[in-house]
Amino acid sequence: MEHDEIVARAKDYIAEEGDPAFRAEVEALLKAEDWKELEDRFYRDLEFGTGGLRGVIGGGSNRMNSLVVSRATQGLCDYLIKAFPGKSLSACVAYDSRRYSPEFAEITARVFAANGVKAYLFSALRPTPELSFAIRLLKADTGIVVTASHNPPKYNGYKAYWNDGAQVTPPHDEGIIDMVGKVRQAKSLSREEAMKKGLLVMIDKEVDEPYVAMVESKLLRPALIKEMASKVKIVYTPLHGTGALHFERVMKDLGLSVTTVSEQREPDGAFPTVAFPNPEESAALKLALELGAKVKADVVMATDPDADRLGIAVPDAKGDFVLVTGNQLGSLQLDYILLTRRELGLMPKKPATVKTIVTTDLQARIAEKYGATCFECLTGFKWIADLMRRFESDGGASPAGEGYEYVYGTEESYGHLVENEVRDKDGISAAAVTAEMTLYWRSKGKSLLDRLQELYLEYGYYEEKSINKYFEGPKGMDVMKGIMEGYRKDQPKSLGGIKVAHIRDVKSGLEWDSGREGAAKKVDLPASDVIQWLLEDGTKVTVRPSGTEPKIKYYVLLRSEVSGGARGGEAAAAGLPAAKATSAAKAAAIAADIRKVIGE
C-alpha cells in the first residue's frame, strides 16, 4: 500500500474513532512517522470472517477497537433486518476477561439498540457456552461474545452467533460479511437511552441458574457421584478467565472437592502468570500441576479464558502428572458416554457422534463398537452444530437420512459438547462429565490413563502431532496462500518416506487416489481451504490456514498396531511402548518434510 494512502486511512480513522485512547495511538504513530507500524495497522481492514473478528487490540483498521466493533455490529444488524423483515429482533451479548471486552460488549449492545434490536447484555463476564445457551433460552435472533479464546493477551475478538445458538454458517456468514463490508457509519444509542427505551436489558441469574441446572442434568450416574464424591480431589484453574463462576458452583453442588489455583482464579486480561492462556500448552498448567502434586489430586482441570475449552492432566502410577490431549479426552468421554448409555438403557435408536476431519479416527472405532454412527465435519464447532441442526430437521437432511439423535461431539483442540442445549463447545459441562468419568473408573479400580491404555490395546495406538507456523504482517496471507497453491500445483508423492495413497482437496471439493486425478470423486463437505493426504500406512496429514490467526496449521494423525494388544497382560505391556516408538518416528519424519516447505 502506498505511503499517502496509509496516511489518508490513518487520518480518516482518527476522525471516526470514538475512543480517545485508540485515537491517541494512531496520532502518536503519525507524529513519530512510524510508517512500518502504520502500514501494519492500515494495510487492510480487519477481516470479518465466517466466525467474526479476531485481532490485536489497538487503533487502526487492522486492529480490534471500538470503531471496528461498532461497524461489524451495524453490518450484522443490516443483515438481520433484511433477513427477518418486520420481525421484532433481539440479540444476546456476552464477554470474557480480556482487555476492552466489557467496553466492546457495551458498544455492541448499544449499536443493536440503535437499530431497534433488543440487546440482552450480561452484567458481568460469562463463559462462551452460556452465550450460546442464552440465545436458545431467550429465543434471540443472534448473539455476540467478545473473546479471543486462548490467544495471547494482545488479542481480542468478536464471535457471531445465529438464532440456533451456533456460530453463523452459510449462507448467513457470507451475507453478514457482505453487509459489514458496506458499512461506513454505525448507529448508536447511549446506554441510558437504550435502557429507557427497553432496548438494552441486563441479564445474569435468569440465565445462570437454568444453565447450571442444565449442566448438572447431563450427568448420567448421580448415585455414583453421591457415593464417591468425597474420594476424588480436583485441582482447577480458569487461567484468569470466566470459568471459576460456574465450575466451582457445579462441582460444589455435586459434592466434589475442588482446589482452585489462587494465583489464576481472578479474571485478568493481562494473564500475568502465563504466556498463552491455553490449556493445550503445558506451560499454562504449570501452577495447577504443582498444586495438584502438592494436594495429591486425582485430576487437574483447566479451562481457557472464555471457558469453552477443557484440558486435563492425571497422575500416572508414579504420581507424576501426564497431560491428556484433546483427542485423548474426547475419546475417553465418548467411550464413557456410550458405555454408560448402553448400560443404563439410555442409548437412542440411532445415536450420532460428530468429530472434525482433523480429530482422531479412534473415535469412529469407539462409536462403531457401541452401534453409533460417527459423522465427520470441517474444523470448527459451528460445523458440529450444523450437523446437530440437520439431525433435528424434519426433512431428514443429515448425510445418512433421518432419525439420528446427537449424543456427543468433539474436536482435537480441547473442544467437547455433551448436551443439545448449547451449540458450541462447553468446557463447564465437559468438566462435569470428566469428573463423573473419573469417579466411575475409580469405582472399577482404574484411572483415566488405565482406561486410555485399554482403548489403545483394543483399537491400536493412536497419536497426533500438530505443527503451526505464524506468518504475520502484510505479506503473511500471501505466503500462506502461496504454500497452499504450491501443494495444489505439485501434490507430494510421499511424506516422511511414506507414499501418499489418497488426496482430498476440500477447496476444490474433490478427492482421488494418488496419480489418478482423472478419477476424482466429489467431497461431501462445504468448500474450505483444506488439503488432506492419506498415506499408504493409514496416516492422515492435513494442512489448512487458520481461520482466526495468521498461521498455517498441520495435523498428523497416526495409528500403530499394538503387538499382543488383544491378549493383554505382559504381551500388551511390551507391545504398547513399541507402537508408541513407531508412531513417534513416523511423526518426526513427516514433520521434517513439512518444515522444509514452511521454512523452519
Q: DSSP readout, 197-250?
A: TT-EEEESHHHHHHHHHHHHHT-S-HHHHHHHGGG-EEEEE-TTSSTHHHHHHH
- State whether 263 and 167 are in the same domain: no
Which of 326, 331, 329, 323 has the alpha carbon at shortest distance from 366? 331
- Residue 414 in contact with residue 466, Cβ under 8 Å? no
Q: What's the whole-model pTM score?
A: 0.94
Q: Which of 324, 352, 373 is the last residue of a domain?
A: 324
Note whether residue 9 is domain-resident: no
In sequence order, the 6+-apart residues with CB closer than 8 A to the CB of 56 are 63, 64, 154, 155
| One domain for residues 494 and 539 | yes
Radius of gyration of the chain (CA): 24
- Contact at 8 Å (CB) between 281 and 309? no
Q: Are residues 442 and 510 in the same domain?
A: no
Same domain, yes or no: 583 and 471: yes
63 domain residue, yes or no: no
- Does residue 173 lie within any of the structural domains? yes
Contact 237, 310 (CB under 8 A): no
Angle in degrees, 0-180, between the axes of helices 20-32 and 35-42, rounded to the nearest 10: 140
Amino acid identity at 227:
E
Kindly state whether residues 89 and 151 are assigned to the same domain: yes
Domain check: are 564 and 498 in the same one? yes
149: annotated active-site residue? yes
At residue 195, the 3 state secondary structure works out as helix
Same domain, 444 and 388: yes
The last residue of a domain, from among 309, 324, 339: 324
CB 431 within 8 A of CB 247: yes
Count of residues in the chain: 600
Distance CA(182)–CA(78), nearest Å, equals 10
Residue 263: which CATH number?
3.40.120.10
Question: Quick one: 283 exposed, middle or buried, by C-beta within 10 A (0-12, 13-18, 19+)?
Answer: exposed
Residues 394 and 522 in one domain: no
**Are 414 and 480 contained in the same domain?**
no
Say whether both 356 and 476 belong to one domain. no
The pLDDT profile of the chain, 600 residues, written as one tens digit per residue, is: 788 999 999 999 999 999 999 999 999 999 999 999 999 999 989 988 777 899 999 999 999 999 999 999 999 999 999 999 999 999 999 999 999 999 999 999 999 999 999 999 999 999 999 999 999 999 999 999 999 998 899 999 999 999 999 999 989 989 999 999 899 899 999 999 999 999 999 999 999 999 999 999 999 999 999 999 999 999 999 999 999 999 999 999 999 999 999 999 999 999 999 999 999 989 999 999 999 999 999 999 999 999 999 999 999 999 999 999 999 999 999 999 999 999 999 999 999 999 999 999 999 999 999 999 999 999 999 999 999 999 988 544 445 457 899 999 999 999 999 999 999 999 999 999 999 999 999 999 999 999 999 999 999 999 999 999 988 877 788 899 999 999 999 999 999 999 999 999 999 999 999 988 878 899 999 999 999 999 999 999 999 998 667 789 999 999 999 987 655 556 566 789 999 999 999 999 999 999 999 986
Number of domains in the chain: 4
Q: 500 vs 67, 369, 536, CA distance in Å?
A: 48, 29, 6
Q: Which of 427, 443, 459 is the last residue of a domain?
A: 459
| Mutual angle of helices 101-114 and 66-83, in 10-degree steps | 40
Please check whether residue 344 lies inside any domain of the structure: yes
Same domain, 447 and 491: no
Is 391 among the domain residues? Answer: yes
Among residues 66, 149, 413, 560, which one is catalytic? 149
Do 111 and 171 lie in one domain? The reply is yes
Instruction: Write out the residue range of the structural domain in which residue 76 sits.
Output: 68-203
In a domain, 181, yes or no: yes
- 196 located within any domain: yes
